[in-house]
Amino acid sequence: MRRRALLAGGLLAVSCGLLAVSVARAEIHDYQILRLLSYRTDCQPLRVEARPAAGGTRRFFVACDNEVSYPDGAEVVCDDRDDENACRVVTAPARFDALRLMR
């Protein structure tokens, strides 16, 4: 009898553990956004701020140390909340065409 109670308690604990694992979800972290900007842009990130977004997207604002290409910072949008590969930089880099005209 005691063996059945222990077995039932063990099964309950395992099933609750599996339930907790199946509910857990991946999410995009700040270091992934910093890595994206470091590899794909001239922005040298200082800090990352998560901004509210609609639906299943995530939106981040990144302040850049060098303000030449991104004087107002860069904005990153992730269409899939769980996949860092779905992230893209929305802010276009600043262009100073007047400097080319001075040549």
Over the chain (103 residues), the average pLDDT of each successive run of 10 is 54 49 68 92 91 88 89 93 90 81 68
What pTM was computed for the model?
A: 0.67
In Å, what is the CA distance from 84 to each residue of 30, 36, 40, 58, 75? 10, 9, 14, 10, 15
Contact call for residues 30 and 51 (beta carbons, < 8 A): no
**Could you tell me the two tokens for 91?**
């802010």
- For residue 23, what pLDDT is reported? 54
Determine the Cα–Cα distance for residues 31 and 100; give it in Å rounded to an integer: 36
Would you list the domain boundaries of the chain?
A: 30-100
